[in-house]
Chains A and B, each alone.
Chain A
Amino acid sequence: MTSQVRPDAPGDIGGHGTHGDEPRPSAPPDPIKLRPADFPGWAHENLFSSWLNSILTIVFGVFVAWLAYRSIVFVLVSSDWTIIEVNLTNFMVGRFPRGQLAYLWGAIYLLAAVVGLTAGVSVANRTRETRSWRGAAGRYVPPAVLILVLLGFSNTLLPSLLTVGALAVTAAGYWAGRLAPPVVGRRIWVVAVLGLVAAYFVARTGGTTYAGWGGMLLTLFFAAGAITLSFPFGLLLALGRRSSFPAVRLVCVGYIELIRGVPLIALLFMGAFMLGFFYPDFIPKPGKVTAALIAMILFTAAYVAEIVRGGLQSVPQGQIEAARAVGLSPLKITRLIVLPQALRAVIPAIVGQFISLFKDTSLVSIIGLLELLGVARVVTQQPDFLAQGLDAQTLAFAGFVYWVFCYSMSRASQRLEQRLGVGER
């Protein structure tokens, strides 16, 4: 069943993922655990079991050691990270007016509360316990390192204090979520979406709408905005593709296949150069950010549609027949029987799509928007840092931020998959 839910799982035709995120199957558990007392035996079995293995171990050992050495030297010795320190605010929010940063912190606090609440509710609803210290460390260490690195680059104490406060709010939300009545638990996605919308309005209280955002803020805005807004559209496309009306099916298949056949950058070009022409005269032309967001929504909807279609196909036919037998109307069958099961099954794949989308937001730097990658590419043009070959530093920093986000989300998606028991039914 998993392979139907995730269209590009091995063994299934069709695809998902903008730029293809395979299913992220949980890594096979290491058969042999490292026990210090038994190290010689372990090493013999795992590193030097045969001639070939010994050679491989030595060659790889030298190579990995060299790579580690070079990385450590790069990070700690040879690099001058002043450029990040000076531009940290640019990396985070771009040209966002510095006087209005307080509103952003307000939005962060709101989101922290929502995240805590969601986590608390989902823990309270958890049916099986999956707890391991190793897993927890793998999940929390990268984000913690990211926060520490970011705070380490800041010159004042205020961000650190505010971050501690945000973490405290998250903890409070978590506690509230565990105690919340089940009604909240069932409608938690409403709370999450409302929280996201509210956070946007808090952030723009000072009058700076998303058109004036930049850096990581813009990256997150694109990713969250595109996945949220494309979801209803993708859902309709998926239902349309499975419709019994040939005309509806044809239109939906045409749209999905057309969009999936072209690269995102072509759609971003379309948004930048062409979208304004579609508008009638009496509507103001869209700005650059709006145009890019619309292009991303149109793009993501096609991929979401394919994921949801996989979920729809995974609902056993017997369910639909049973619903028909008790006399439900087609609309009710879809709403009450098919969708709840289908959507539950596609959650991990949607997270995978979100990761893809998060990486793809970097493409808007090509059409001149300054999100995280865009900032990393332009700060080396500042007079103070011009022509010093600092691309390695700024790009490595941006890459690290992307990596932490994507890695954490992919781990979360694996856990979700296990917890939802998708594919185990």
Chain B
Amino acid sequence: MAAEALGQRRAVRPPPWRDIRVLRVVIQVAFLVVVVATVWYLYNNLRSNTRLGFDWLQQPAGFSIRDAPGYSPGQRVLAAIRVGFFNTAQVAFLGIALATVLGIIIGIARLSTNWLVRRAAALYVEALRNIPVLLIIVLIYGAVMLQLPGVANAGEFLESFIFSNRGVSVPWYQSQEGATSYVAVIGLGVLVAAALWVWRTRRFDRTGEPHHRVLWALGTVAGFILAGYFVLGAPIALSLPELEGRRVTGGTSLGTEYAALLIGLVLYTASHIAEIVRGSIQAVPHGQTEAANAIALTGFQRLRYVVLPQAFRIMIPPLANQYLNLTKNSSLAVAIGYPELTRIIGTVIGNGNPAPPSIAILMGCYLIFSIGISIITNIVNRALSLEPRT
């Protein structure tokens, strides 16, 4: 009888206006209709108020960009945007690398046993992360870079760095004859080193003898670099910047805006990365440190083999977040005039090109950067994450 009652209840369906299966569909359709109608209405307003479409991308840009070889104002708008895109990518790449190094150093310094070092690192972090990054960039640009002496009496440091209010010149390499083959030789060296790395690792797994794979790999690469240098007859030369009257020759020069942007971004982001590093190291269970001490590892060994590998795993996701932020913050160069993506789009709009498609391009480019960084860090994250033991 109970079964019969149950069966009956299953047969009776509620009226449609109280049937959850019907309601779910109705609610979602209604929601989508509202969203689509709103977007459609806004889009129609946009279309009736302004010009859309992307044909202006093919017209001459009509403005010049400093330090952009291969670009001239006569080229298409698209070419100008491409210059901006790669400038942003360059700042982001270099900034991420430098900020990571500085951040890790400061983060570890915050946990130093030395009171002074610990306090100095804490001071750095607390001072920098509570100030807007835009202010830091503008301060470095306006109060440091532009106040440097003019080119005529530029400052020198160790005879290899030259500072002036036109930029910072640093030593750089100079290609001589045979530079292309030299790159090929170094590439070959890297491949051989990778093969040796794999071989040493496998040997270690099989026999348990020390692998010393870092030494092997680095030694191989260094050997190739040295041998190639002598065999090919000095294919590259070091070029030191030199002051000749009112201009700097040799080396490579970072423009004032570029240097200010890079330094500002690196200093600011490093303060955040330092906090992540500190938090991650502290998040490694204390028992791990105690166990390392118990088996008499030295301080360095404890850090290198026990604490840091685990801390890195914890560190990756928030670090990825900081990398995204640094990339997005590079847009602040618009305030000091470094021609990265946002600045170029701003100029494009200022030259009378339609704003909505320009801003769509701007957002699209940053989304590409964001997605790219997410993909890379997700791969790293997956590679580092623990696999469940089988």
Residues of A within 8 A of B371 (CB): 261
Task: Let me know if A56 and B114 touch, CB within 8 A.
Answer: yes
Is there an interface contact between A363 and B134, defined as CB atoms closer than 8 Å?
A: yes
User: Are A20 and B345 within 8 A (Cβ)?
Assistant: no
Chain B binding surface SS class: helix
How many Å from the CB of B230 to the closest CB on chain A? 37
Residue among A13, A21, A246 with the highest chain B CB neighbour number at 10 A: A13
Please tell me if B161 contacts chain A, counting CB pairs below 8 Å. Answer: no
Rounded to whole Å, the gap between the CB of B31 and the closest CB of chain A is 6
Q: A274-B359, A279-B45, A403-B131 are in contact. Are A56 and B345 (CB under 8 A)?
A: no
Contact between chains at A266 and B272 (CB < 8 Å): no
Contact flags B265-309 to A (C-beta < 8 A → 1, else 0): 000000010011001101100000000000000000000000000
Given A60-B116, A274-B356; A366-B367 close (CB under 8 Å) = no
Contact present for B139 and A396 (CB under 8 Å)? yes
Q: For B42, B114, B279, B356, which residue has the most chain A Cβ atoms within 10 angstroms?
A: B114
The answer to whether B314 touches A10 (Cβ under 8 A) is: yes
Interface size class of B (residues with CB under 8 A): 35 or more
Q: Give the chain A neighbours of B116 by CB distance below 8 A.
A: 47, 56-57, 60-61, 64
A19 to B135, CA, bound (A): 14
Is residue A251 within 8 Å, beta carbon to beta carbon, of the partner chain?
yes
Inside 8 A of A280's CB, which chain B residues have their CB? 45
A242 sits at the interface (CB 8 A): no
* Central interface residue in A12, A262, A362, by most chain B CB within 10 Å: A262
Decide yes or no whether A49 CB sits under 8 A from chain B: yes
Indicate whether A202 reaches chain B with its CB closer than 8 angstroms: no
Asked whether B331 is an interface residue with its Cβ less than 8 Å from the other chain, the reply is yes
Chain A residues, Cβ within 8 Å of B325: 17, 19-20
- Cβ of A359 within 8 Å of any chain B Cβ, yes or no, is yes
A11 contacts B363, C-beta separation under 8 Å: no
- List the B residue with the shortest CB-CB distance to A24: B275
Confirm or deny: A69 has a beta carbon within 8 angstroms of a beta carbon on chain B: no
In the complex, chain B residues whose CB is within 8 Å of the CB of A258: 363, 367
Q: Which residues of B contact A318 (CB under 8 A)?
A: none
* Secondary structure class of chain A's binding surface, majority of residues: helix
Interface pair A251/B31, CB less than 8 Å apart: yes
A211 to B50, CA, bound (A): 25
Asked if A365 is at the interface (CB within 8 A of a chain B CB), the reply is yes
Contact check, B131 vs A399: say whether CB atoms are below 8 A apart.
yes
**Residues of chain A with a CB closer than 8 A to B138's CB:** 373, 377, 391, 395
A406 at the interface (CB under 8 A from B): yes
Closest-by-CB residue of B relative to A259 is B363
Q: A10-B283, A46-B113 are in contact. Are A402 and B130 (CB under 8 A)?
A: yes
| Docked pose: A279 CA to B50 CA in angstroms | 12
**Inter-chain contact A277/B335, CB cutoff 8 Å:** no
Decide if B56 is an interface residue (CB 8 Å cutoff). no
Q: Find chain B residues with CB under 8 A from A373 CB.
A: 132, 134-135, 138
**Is A27 part of the binding interface, using a Cβ–Cβ cutoff of 8 Å?**
yes
The interface-forming segment of B119-127, B212-220, B233-241 is B119-127
- Closest chain A CB from B171 CB (angstroms): 24
Given A10-B276, A360-B132, A363-B134: A265 and B334 within 8 A (CB)? yes
Taking the nearest CB of chain A, how far is it from the CB of B50, in angstroms?
5
A residues in contact (CB < 8 Å) with B: 8-15, 17, 19-25, 27-28, 32, 46-47, 49, 53, 56-57, 60-61, 63-64, 245-248, 251, 258, 260-266, 269-270, 273-274, 276-280, 355, 359-360, 362-363, 365-366, 373, 377, 389, 391-392, 395-396, 398-399, 402-403, 406-407, 410
21 A-B residue pairs with Cβ-Cβ distance under 8 Å, sorted by A, are A9-B279, A10-B276, A11-B317, A12-B318, A13-B381, A47-B115, A53-B114, A56-B114, A56-B117, A245-B31, A258-B367, A265-B331, A265-B332, A265-B334, A270-B359, A373-B134, A373-B138, A391-B146, A399-B131, A402-B130, A403-B130
- 6 A-B pairs closest in CB distance: A392-B143, A15-B321, A391-B142, A406-B130, A273-B355, A263-B328
